[in-house]
Amino acid sequence: MIDNYSDEDIQERLVALTRDLILIPSIPSRPEDLRRCYEFIKNHLECLDNIEVREFEHQGSPSLVATPPGCKKPDILMCGHLDVITHPVASYRSYMENGRIYGPGAGDMKGSVAILLEIFRNIHTRFPNASLGIGITSDEETGGTSGVGYLFNEAGVSCGEAMIPDGGSLNEITIEEKGILHLKLTCHGHSAHAARPWLGDNPLERLMDHLTKLRKFFSDMKQEEHHWIPTCAVTIIETENQTINRIPTDATAVLDIRFPPPFTVEKIVAQIKETLTEDVDFEIIISAEPTHLSPDKSYEVITEEVTGKAIKHVRDDGGSDARYLSKFGIPVMMSRPLVGNLHAQDEWIDIHSMVQLYRIYEKFLIKKLTEN
């Protein structure tokens, strides 16, 4: 069946929808706006004929899965998140320049959510009852445990294959993601006047010694040629102190550690514990194993056909919602339009590449869902 939409039509629809989505500041600190964005997307899906929207909520994060009625395990599920990281700006607006849409969340991932919504509508209009679902969650930027994690681990959602346009690039298909370990270290001591430090036991200074050992542990693994190695960033250090001339009672540091295979959570935790001595408390905030995405070969071929350029397999230093699916052996297709300055105020998405990704999805979905 021939698509009745020209590239211009699609572009117009994608741009309008992306800009509407950016206008809603769907950030973790504004749950009512997060909910507003969720309702906006739900309304888009509910007005489609012959589509059932199932709603979920876990720890305050709303999610939905839309499929044809009764379709419990779609052959293909497209996943997107509507939440955006909190930007230090007063207003969430977008503008267009040089063929790009600029605005908070344009690239991660409201532009891509617009593509998912449009292609979902288009495929179901042309192929009623196609085994295609869409899942929209609202907590990816804060870990995904109440979104995709909850849907797949607890709510019984499943699928044959998944498409998540939240990593890679137009011709760069993500095949591996690093594992994640968010770690909190706490040292206990006892306070004293800072003029008489010999009367106290300074936990902050001991914590600093531990961090120095850990920094050496990670820098010993550094390589000149690439960054596909374990890394560690100290992101928070704090004490209860409000005053300068007091030795604190406790000191904590939070670390963001990322690691590729063959490291596992267990292995890296054991090595870190070995590096530290016993006077430090060790708390794992989040952990996730490295992820293999195993994309479908025909997705790669179609990407090359639509773009006229060879694809490249890439590895991602960051993690995504794909980790919750690959542990069930579900292949994940992960590439996205050209984007830049992610998580910055002038985040952008390239409009032409949005249309190209739309065409890749269209071709792939029609092939997978109608040829059997």
Which spans of this chain sit near Zn ion (rule: CB under 5 A)? 108-109, 166
Q: How far is the CB of 109 from Zn ion (least distance, A)?
A: 5
In angstroms, give the least distance from the CB of 275 to Zn ion.
Answer: 32
Instruction: Give the shortest CB-334-to-Zn ion separation in angstroms.
Output: 11
Residue 30 to residue 24: CA distance in whole angstroms: 10
What one-letter code names the amino acid at 195? A
The phi and psi torsions of 16 (rounded to 5 degrees) equal -65, -45
Task: In whole angstroms, give the CA distance from residue 345 to residue 18.
Answer: 16
Start-end of H helices in the chain: 7-23, 31-46, 111-126, 148-153, 203-219, 265-275, 297-307, 322-326, 351-370
Cα dihedral across residues 312, 316, 320, 323: positive or negative: positive
Nearer to Zn ion, 23 or 109 (CB): 109
In angstroms, give the least distance from the CB of 297 to Zn ion. 25
Residue showing tokens 């910055």: 344
Q: DSSP secondary-structure letter at 229?
A: S
Nearer to Zn ion, 108 or 289 (CB): 108
To the nearest whole angstrom, how small is the minimum distance from the Cβ of residue 117 to Zn ion? 16
182 SS3 class: strand
Identify the three-state secondary structure at position 132.
Answer: strand
CA gap 3, 6 in Å, rounded: 8
**Which of 61/202 has CB closer to Zn ion?**
61
Q: CB 347 → Zn ion: shortest distance, Å?
A: 11
Closer residue to Zn ion, CB minimum distance, 165 or 295: 165
Say how far apart CA 255 and CA 237 lie, in whole Å: 9
Q: How far is the CB of 205 from Zn ion (least distance, A)?
A: 38
Q: How many whole angstroms separate alpha carbon 257 and alpha carbon 293? A: 21
Q: Residue 42 is which amino acid?
A: K
Beta strands 348-350; 339-340: pairing state? antiparallel
Question: Smaller CB distance to Zn ion: residue 108 or 177?
Answer: 108
Least distance to Zn ion, CB of residue 105, Å:
9
Q: Which is nearer to Zn ion, 48 or 314 (CB)?
A: 314
Residue 28: other Cβ atoms inside 10 A: 16
Name residue 161's beta-bridge partners: 76
**Tokens found for residue 306:** 């639509």
- Cβ closer to Zn ion: 108 or 161? 108
Whether 148 contacts 325, CB under 8 Å: yes
Strand residues in 218-249 grouped as ranges (E):
231-239, 246-247
Nearer to Zn ion, 166 or 296 (CB): 166
For Zn ion, the closer of residues 109 and 116 by Cβ is: 109
Provide the minimum distance between the beta carbon of 81 and Zn ion in the complex, in angstroms, as a whole number: 6
Longest C-alpha distance within the chain, in Å? 82
